[in-house]
Structure 1
């Protein structure tokens, strides 16, 4: 299905898009960046170093050192005749790997404390005015693994940002605070008491303020249909908080970057703040190893301390330039995939805890095809998700369940998630694209997976749903067809002639048969997860915090039990899945960890 997605997400407007009534992205002149976005980018660029471009224009070590020093970075090169002659070394107080929700927030807090902060990001920065909003291009340039990374059983597609701003640059802008039950669970069951303090509540409030979290009341057609359906069933519905600067914003292309800059990602908030306070940001530079030295010990466990990282810069001619960054504090904030991968590549296994406890918020999609006489649905158009429902699952008892919300769908994503029973049926699903309402069933998973490195040192994911999560996933007005991504799970409303001879009870029974068929299919012992593919945009827990070194990687301050001076400030640090979009929680958690680190380094 990945090949199908790449094919349909290419710019095929004259050939295919027109037939599917998909207009593609708006022209650049139709969505100029706001003044506020341009001002934020100007601030960011004062401290942003494109290391690939810098290395290409300064081929000799001496010239590159001079360019870095001119930019305000402390740099030197090994002298000729020495081991590693010409290799560069950069020094700072804190080096942060990753520029997303955790890395951006931590950089701002630490730089404002007066520390010399350097953020490294393997991705690149694309100014808002230069975004094409083309789906295929965005996946290849702004997502981990070009948006095609899958679990080893292929049941799960992993979506994670790999650009300046990380996931905050490409997410849908949904901005929930940490749910109360989750805060209680993390404090009492995982030994992190500050999650129940007023200090953390204040960190959440400050984080929401910095992201300008508001309520968007301009509904897309999808959101109108979702709201109507929930009301008709007497189900819960509420407005979705979003980090959109303009409550009238209607851009449905924000998952490829926000061209007008109304979405308040870290490249327009925390990172410019950090640069204002003296931080530097290097893009196009990949961390390859956490460097350590022996130490006396930390919490009775650590035998080594972090002294920096090794990085690589891939140059235009394909050659790689190596560089060391020395710092007494290293923060991993690359995401819950890149962070454990870097730790494992550095020989930091945490008694088997690094890479373990992976939770993903698996999302499956339910689609309703509406009659043309009801008007177009256009699931790519308008504000992504303005209503949500959380009736499904056992939220009130154990805090685990599912959310329903509208699912932003563009043609590549839509085609990849379409069930395949025949070429003709697949073609009809695509022709129905503009009439389809896509609803995401988003599960707070109790299932756990693991991240590991293959023989080539590349990160891989093992993940399988448990029975509870499977059942939660399937408990998910007016549609003529309802279908899931499994080729056998669909329901067609009888046509007008057939309905004329049927009672409402018979109609209801037909739909109940469809629901029973879903239950029977997914509950069958021979069911294969890969036949109902899901996506994950939120990965958590692979280097989690806790009170017990036997079941966690970091202590309650986010510091590694095994390597002193090594901290985790991203989704990997979260003890469990959240059941809500994690951006606000990750940033607020990073604020708490960074404040404690700044006190330790500045005292």
Structure 2
């Protein structure tokens, strides 16, 4: 036996499992499909954009900019294709690096609210979770303390507060954000400091953010949350955790009794196939990757994929509903300048405030609005020429930049998707990756619920923009069919192996253990039965910690 537990994936779920189990004395062998990554030595925190190729703008290899923390992944990964069914539009982001998506994300970490755990009971759509908010609340508290979270509480029934001792103070709003807040106050829309996984006070040997470098580059001082700086170092320090990178897992192995006891994987550097054995297996490779591993783990007892007696593996695929618009605010032109440093994200956001009006609004559930603007960074490529249509150079251009920079405000709606039968992933019957492993084929279609929700996002944004006298960057955004995001574009895929109280309609039990396979646990976004308007990372971390403790209890005599 190589270890007590094998963990597949090093993102927030896998690293949380390694942390919790390793500290409990369990021998953990972690396997990551991407390469090793060390933010403390690799992050170009203090580099100027002008020092990078193409002034740090996006490239096919670096779609989010040259300095983005992602080092070995993206929308397309060489040798690792996926396919999309005719009539569907879906794009799949894979990080392929130690720490997974915790290296590349907005670090927006709201808690799911009480209504989010019982959506079916509320409106008859989707399914209820087999747990409620009170059951996960203490795990949220623990996760926030360990993660390090700033933010502001608000008295809204489905936006749970954090204990005063948990959240750190957020940075104050900047001038454009104060303008937005004033407009929202007039319109009766809440506008508060968002929960972000960035610290403003030192904790656990981590330095506070000093507002000098974009978070999406990674953080060598560990002020923002990344699994590779917050979870893995203390896990490795126990001496109980080992990490193998460049290990593409193809399937889960079972012993003669049908218990999960290992994995089969390929060493991506050498092309050599290997096996690893343990007493239990945790899949935390991301919602779609974990589904792919289960579907590829076929046998006589599991002809449709491991743990798939319910037929739900790969089904119920959800992403966050996304819609956004940008605008220029003439009232901000030529304003006095002051120190506008802060975290590299907006200091305000608008949580959903109309939970009691979903019937009259014409769509179920809700959304929140995130904010962005050019006041959080210095002028980049295209600012003077493309964004504001300036035709000139030299002193005129410089004066134009001084007057106009910091006048752009954007809003991004992030809403709940209802699971539907048209959104799922399955194995492509013909296409395989470079190692001969069958790849996923995605099916995707937004329903009228999401389209109407996105239309409401747009109307809300237009009301706010109108209140501050903003001019849309693209006036056509206000007309015609709403330009809703593509499936997968928000990088919030969940639901492909959902938890439930009935094995006939779910893949894992309320603790995260597979109904069909003793010793197999899932600890990533695949287990979420619904995808509320709150970003899922904090909930995945809290559930993984809870599942890790359940695994420890199971190993001592409960169901295993």
Q: Following TM superposition, by how much is the alpha carbon of 1:176 offset from its aligned partner in structure 2, in angstroms?
A: 1.4
Query: Could you state the TM-score of these two structures normalised by the residue count of structure 2?
Result: 0.72
| Residue of 163, 167, 170 corresponding to 2:97 | 163
CA deviations 1:97-149 (Å, max 9, x no partner) are 11112111111221222211111112221323422365246376254445998
For 1:130, the equivalent position in structure 2 comes to: 42
Q: 8 Å contact 1:239–1:386 — kept in the other structure?
A: yes
Q: Report the Cα distance in structure 2 between the residues aligned to 1:306 and 1:164, rounded to whole angstroms.
A: 24
Residue 453 of structure 1 deviates from its aligned partner by: 2.7
Q: Select 1:141's aligned residue among 59, 65, 71.
A: 71
- What is the correspondence of 1:16-55 to structure 2 with a 5 Å cutoff? none
Aligned equivalent of 2:397 = none
Residues 147, 225 of structure 2: 8 Å contact kept = yes
Structure 1 distance, partners of 2:315, 2:271, is 31
TM-score relative to the length of structure 1? 0.67
Matched, 1:210 2:182: no
Q: Distance in 2 between matches of 1:377 and 1:369?
A: 20
Kept in 1: contact 2:83–2:440 (CA 8 A): no
Matched with 2:515 is 561
In 1, Cα distance between equivalents of 2:213 and 2:83: 25
2:291 match: 340
1:364-410 Cα deviation digits (max 9, x unpaired) = 21111233725599999853132121347646658711110114789
Q: CA deviation at 1:447?
A: 4.5
Shift of 1:540: 0.9
**Count of residues in correspondence between the two structures:** 458
1:177 aligns with 2:111: yes
Output the CA distance in 2 between the equivalents of 1:460 and 1:211. 34
Per-residue CA deviation, residues 179-205 of structure 1 (Å, 9 max, x unaligned), is 12123449999575543445x321111
Bigger Cα displacement from structure 2, 332-341 vs 209-218:
209-218
> What does residue 481 of structure 1 align with?
471
Structure 1 stretch displaced more, 362-371 or 572-581: 362-371
The runs of 5 or more residues in structure 2 that have no matched partner are 46-55, 57-64, 152-169, 202-208, 299-304, 392-400, 433-437, 458-466
Note if contact 2:3-2:278 (Cα within 8 Å) is conserved in structure 1: yes
> Structure 1 regions of 5+ residues with no counterpart?
1-89, 296-303, 417-423, 491-513, 523-527
Deviations 1:245-268 (A, max 9, x none): 226643562123234421022222
Q: In structure 2, do the counterparts of structure 1 residues 292 and 220 end up closer, same or farther at CA, with 3 Å as the change threshold?
A: farther
Contact residue 444 and residue 487 of structure 2 kept, 8 A: no
Q: In the aligned structure 1, how far is the partner of 2:121 from the partner of 2:66?
A: 42
8 Å CA contact 2:43–2:69 kept in 1: the answer is: no
Contact in 1 for aligned 2:117/2:131 (Cα 8 Å)? no
Q: Which is worse superposed, 170-179 or 149-158?
A: 149-158
| 8 Å CA contact retained: 1:390, 1:401 | no
Indicate if the aligned counterparts of 1:364 and 1:534 stay in contact, CA closer than 8 A.
Answer: no
Q: How far apart in 1 are the matches of 2:496 and 2:346?
A: 28
Matched, 1:573 2:527: yes
Residue of structure 2 in register with 1:595 after alignment: 549
Distance (whole Å) between structure 2 residues aligned to residue 554 and residue 187 of structure 1: 21
Whether the aligned pair in 1 keeps the contact of 2:70 and 2:103 (CA below 8 Å) is: no
Task: Report whether the alignment pairs 1:367 with 2:326.
Answer: yes
* Within-5 A mapping of 1:290-301: 290-295=252-257
What is the rounded CA distance, in whole Å, between the counterparts of 2:121 and 2:143 in structure 1?
A: 20
- Greater radius of gyration (CA): 1
- What is residue 402 of structure 1 aligned with on the other side? 367
Query: What is aligned with 1:453?
Result: 427
SS state at 2:71 partner: helix
Change (3 A) 1:187 1:388: same
Q: Which has the higher strand share?
A: 1
Structure 2 counterpart SS, 1:242 = coil
Encode CA deviations 1:294-330: one digit per residue, 9 max, x unaligned. 42xxxxxxxx321210122222xxx412221101211
| Cα displacement (A) at 1:94 | 0.4
Describe the shift of the 1:223–1:425 C-alpha distance in structure 2 as closer, same or farther (beyond 3 A). Answer: same
| Alignment RMSD | 3.8
* 1:467 aligned residue: 448
Aligned to 1:510: none
Q: Residues of 1 paired with 2:231 and 2:128: CA distance?
A: 29
Shift in alpha-carbon separation, 1:218–1:381, aligned structure 2, 3 A: closer
Q: Verify the 8 A CA contact 1:149 1:159 in the aligned structure 2.
A: no
Distance 1:533 1:567 in 2: 27
Q: Do the aligned partners of residues 126 and 205 (structure 1) sit closer, same or farther apart at CA in structure 2, a change above 3 Å counting?
A: same
Q: Structure 1 or 2: larger helix share?
A: 1
How far apart, in 2, do the equivalents of 1:327 and 1:561 lie?
Answer: 19
- Structure 1 CA distance for aligned equivalents of residues 388 and 220 of structure 2: 31
SS of 1:287 mapped into structure 2: strand
Q: 2:163 corresponds to which residue? A: none
Seen in structure 2, the aligned counterparts of structure 1 residues 263 and 529 have a Cα distance that, compared at 3 Å, is closer
User: Would the alpha carbon gap of residues 103 and 380 (structure 1) be closer, same or farther in structure 2, given more than 3 Å must change?
Assistant: farther
Change (3 A) 1:106 1:597: same
